[in-house]
Structure 1
Amino acid sequence: MEEDYIKLIFGLKLKQIRTEKNLSLFGLSKISGLSKSYLNEIENGKKYPKPDKIVTLSEKLNVPYDQMVSLKLDKNLAPIGELLRSKIFKEIPLELFGIKESNLIDIVANAPAKVNAFISTIIKIAQHYNFTRENFFLASVRSFQEANNNYFDDLESQVSKFIEAYQIDVNHRISSKDLEDILVEEYDYKIIHDELSKYKALVNLRSVYVPKTKTLLLTNEIDEGQRAFIYAKELAYNFLGIKERLFTFPWIKFDTFDQVLNNFYASYFAGALTIPKVMIVDHLKNIFEKDVFDRVSFLMAIKAFNASPESFYQRLTNILPEAFNIQDLFFLRFTHKVNSGRFHLKKELHLSHQHSPRANERNEHYCRRWVSLQVLNQISTNDNDHQFDIQISNYTNEGRKYLVLSSATKDPFSEDYYRSISVGLLINKQLQRKINFLSDSNIVKQEVGVTCERCTIENCEVRQAPPLVLEEDEKNLEIEMIVEELKTKFNT
């Protein structure tokens, strides 16, 4: 057991015993002969008393010595003990969010009952929504991205250094062969292209890295862009000197938060390498300067890089806030199985917390008027490799409009599955200054909701469920109004 944990537990127990006996620190000091400042440091987990001092406290408080020094907590403090015994303080780099571990310990020590109630509440919510350690870590990374507007200048600088060190021509598409040569020649990688495809159970894995022999196993199912991205991630791990890492793509397990965070760093590096900042900024400037939306130029911009549409859209969330000061945006990835009638939001990022299209755990029906879902319906009924569309979505209930760009592609690893990637930009004065084509009459404008259960749009031709949540709210409001009337009526 760590010394800090032992000190804090003793302090929490002493404070609990003292308050249960209605003793102030001054009072405990008077009967024990120990100074008030010394007792305060003990209760705040700063000091652990010597055995003779514990004997004195035990006698004066009429509590058995063994109970005083036991690390077992009663039910009122048990959740705090679980939190402190867990690895959460150690696993999450709190400094990323400007938090010191000592600050959290002080909060726990100074208000244990209230902190315990808060922790118990969080645990109950997590259990109710099946919120796992994985969910918590991923949510932490997303919050870290949002806090930095998803742009990391130090990683961008490292990519620039890598490009200079290996003399990569960013004016041309970076091929997987270019990156493979660096992995083999510089980092002694062994790359095997046909091993994973031999195992049916590994159908969803694209790569496995074996660190002892520096062997990278790839599936035959990946395309050129996916192969380049995997190589770029491996280069990131090596060039950035990352040791605490994940070994499969996509990852199937992790041991620490650092592995999850470093996976994000490596992915960011890979996106910045395969889609260089200077090139994508030039493409976007050309598109934004025109008075009408140039669909051909946008699709050409996606194809200009050796990357998937998803990587391109992910890169937009890095570049738009930094290069164009467009920070009010969201990123969504949906999956859809043909003829299933269900759409699942698998990934989301909100650089401003006001955006409406969020995942929910209530099994509600996302608005079928979203372009994110429309492109999925379209591609599932045709033979296109890439379905693209653009839309201005008007959330009438909230008074907000978004310019939403969305692409759908077939999921190469799941039969009869498709996925869509969308970036939505809040239409405000800043966006109007940066993008000239917002008034393009050819862009479809659509009234949308969030889910059918919460939507006020009447006679919606694609509604999947009645507005049950709104109906319940209206019912409760009516009850409240009648109760107020009765209170007024019988108040005299």
Structure 2
Amino acid sequence: MAVHTDHIRLLFGLKLKQLRLDRGLSISELAQASGLSVSYFTEIEKGRKYPKTDKIAAIAAAMGVDYDTLVSLKLSKKLEPISDLLRSKFLTEIPLELFGIDPSDLLELLAEAPAKVSAMISTFMEIGRSYNMSVERIYMSVLRSYQEMHDNYFEDIEAEADRFLEQYASGNTPVDESLLTSLLRSNYNYKIERFDRASRPDLAPLRSFFRPESSTLYLNGHLSEEQRLFILAREVGFRFLNLKNRPLTYAYVEADSWEQILNNYKASYFAGAILIRRTMLIERLQELFNRESWSNDGFLELIQSCRATPERFFYRLSNLLPRYFGIDQLFFYRINNTSGKTSYHLTKEMHLSRHQGPKGIVDEHFCRRWIALTILQELSFTQQHKNFGGALCRAQLSTYADSEQTYFIVSVAQPYQPHQQENMSVSMCFKMTDTLRTKMRFLNPLSPEIPIRIVNETCERCGIFDCRERVAAPIILQRKRQLEAMKLALEGLK
């Protein structure tokens, strides 16, 4: 893989500095021996300048190495992790400016403390290998950080969505499947076809895929109306926002670059913004928050009136609540479960705060008191015994036993892949704050329709020993207490 020009300068500077230190030379001693200035050597070692051929030859002679060794991009074992990083896509593809980081500052950091930074990079890469982290997962982690940093709200995309609505769906004209299909065919020369998972089982997990050479969009024939509507809106988003580097499938088969991940997010954000209008949702949320009592059915009706899946609706909430209601202490997650089974899998999460939630927990049993899990149990029961095929909505006030933090949680469960008897619940969790109580009238006083439960993170960490819902021993908590007891015993030794 080719190395970026800026990185070639840095590699040369790192190598020069390491060779100089290995020989016990100061910058002034090397400058005097080579006939170059101290300030010039400083610029070279920081990766800001790359010397010309005659000066490289003078430096090589002064250090007692041959010219080819000095200009080679091969680094010592100490600096190999930095070399691997610079040769990777990370620094060239991910726009560090999005996070307020000047790339030159990062390069200077690498140059200032190469050994320490090298050790840190090596550690992170080893962690990634140990957990089998794919490039896609790394990119998605970067994307989540980017969303969290901006409270998942982007005014430029909102403005583009408003411009689209004014042009194609002014007033109360709905953005429906007919409008989107017409735009794709007439404005962008799309052909739209459907495929059946029975005849193409290898493509069953995909909701759609796009063939750019024929401008053909293939839609899974088993999609719901809401899913199909969102995919069409996302396709319009790619075109309307002129996002050329894009994934060709819905559900990543492979992510080629960070730009592709970012563009997919922008098109998806645009789709949500034109399907669930900002002004309309703000007005309806204000009416909902002013109610004195909570209604599960009423909240479910609001989602359905927006012609959105629960997941897409919650996601749109995360765009607007921080900006227009000042509610920013929240997180969202999705849990999947096979009907009748007792295993639950966290398949998506997004945090707009650093507080409680399933973030970072793997290979443990989530608390069975979570509304996100109990609603899945209820859905499974109604499916098996009452022939129910719809969605359920439940709310709960959850106080974590360890941290004593309290959250108002709304969870919606529905079939995810009915042919595989797989269900999912999506939950939006709001930290109980004075702002939240002020904005949501039904929380102050608490609406009787909202039950209260003491919960925890996982069974393995939980100290509620009389919990009837426990499915695993508190082994992590026990280890922690054993370690604390050992420390106390050691302190008692005189």
Q: Is the 8 A contact 2:135 2:255 kept in 1?
A: no
Superposed counterparts of 1:64-463, under 5 Å? 64-169=66-171, 171=172, 173-194=174-195, 198-361=199-362, 363-382=363-382, 383-412=388-417, 415-438=420-443, 439-463=446-470
Deviation at 1:359, TM superposition (A): 4.0
Letter in 2 for 1:484: E
Following the alignment from structure 1 to structure 2, what is the Cα–Cα distance between the partners of residues 309 and 459?
34
Stretch deviating more after TM superposition (35-44 or 17-26):
17-26
Deviations along 1:335-378, one digit per CA (max 9) or x if unpaired, are: 111233111101101101123332423x1101110001111111
* Cα offset, 1:168, TM superposition: 4.2
Q: Tell me the CA shift for residue 62 of structure 1.
A: 2.1
The alpha carbon displacement at 1:195 in A equals: 6.1
Task: Determine if contact 1:338/1:417 at 8 Å carries over to the other structure.
Answer: yes
Task: Please list the CA deviations of residues 125-175 of structure 1 after superposition, one character each: whole Å capped at 9, or x if unmatched.
Answer: 112222221111001110111011011111111111000111344x46532
Contact 2:295–2:449, Cα closer than 8 Å, also in 1:
no
Contact 2:297 2:393 survives alignment (8 Å): no
Report the RMSD for the aligned CA atoms in angstroms: 1.5
Spell out, residue by residue over 1:409-447, the C-alpha distance to the aligned partner (whole angstroms, 9 max, x if none).
111365111111000000010101101111112311010
Moved more, 400-409 or 202-211: 202-211
Instruction: For 2:440 and 2:418, locate their aligned partners in 1 and report how far apart those are by CA, in whole Å.
Output: 36
Which residue type is aligned with residue 335 of structure 1? N
C-alpha distance in 2, partners of 1:257/1:413? 33
Q: Does 1:471 align with 2:472?
A: no
Q: Which runs of 5+ in 2 are unaligned?
A: 383-387
Name the amino acid aligned to 1:96: L
Offset of residue 196 of structure 1: 6.3
| In 1, Cα distance between equivalents of 2:61 and 2:419 | 68
Which residue type is aligned with residue 62 of structure 1? G
Q: Distance in 2 between matches of 1:351 and 1:257?
A: 21
Tell whether the 8 Å contact from 2:136 to 2:254 is kept in structure 1 after alignment: no
Offset of 1:385 from its aligned partner?
1.2
Does the 8 Å contact 1:225/1:306 carry over to 2?
A: yes
CA shift at 1:7, angstroms?
A: 2.0
Hey, what's the Cα distance between the residues in 2 that align with 1:432 and 1:366? 27
Letter of the 1:303 counterpart: Q
Structure 1 Cα separation of the partners of residues 60 and 155 of structure 2? 56
Whole-Å separation in 2 of the counterparts to 1:173 and 1:412: 28
Choose which of 56, 60, 63 in structure 2 pairs with 1:61. 63
Secondary structure of the residue aligned to 1:332 is strand
Which consecutive unaligned segments of at least 5 residues does structure 1 have?
none
Conservation of the 8 A alpha-carbon contact between 1:196 and 1:218: no
Task: Report if aligned partners of 2:375, 2:392 keep a CA contact under 8 Å in 1.
Answer: yes
TM-score by length of 1: 0.95
Q: Counterpart of 2:22?
A: 20
Q: Is the 8 A contact 1:191 1:216 kept in 2?
A: yes
How far the C-alpha of 1:294 sits from its partner, in A, is 2.6
Structure 1 range deviating more: 424-433 or 180-189: 180-189
Per-residue CA deviation, residues 293-326 of structure 1 (Å, 9 max, x unaligned), is 1333212111111211111111111121112110
